[in-house]
Amino acid sequence: MTGSFLSPRFSSASGNFRTCFCFLCSLTIICKLAYNS
């Protein structure tokens, strides 16, 4: 909701951080599945 009030630079930075965070979470899940199997 507050995205329209944020500056484009901060918005893009937040998007990049979210993408990296999701990527790290995916790697962690894959590693856990690989070690558990």
pTM check: above 0.85: no
Q: For residue 6, give Cα distances in angstroms to 1, 14, 15.
A: 10, 10, 12
Which residue in this structure is represented by tokens 């962690």?
Answer: 28
For residue 19, the 8-state DSSP code is H
Digit-by-digit pLDDT tens for the chain (37 residues) are 455 565 667 778 888 888 989 999 999 999 999 999 7
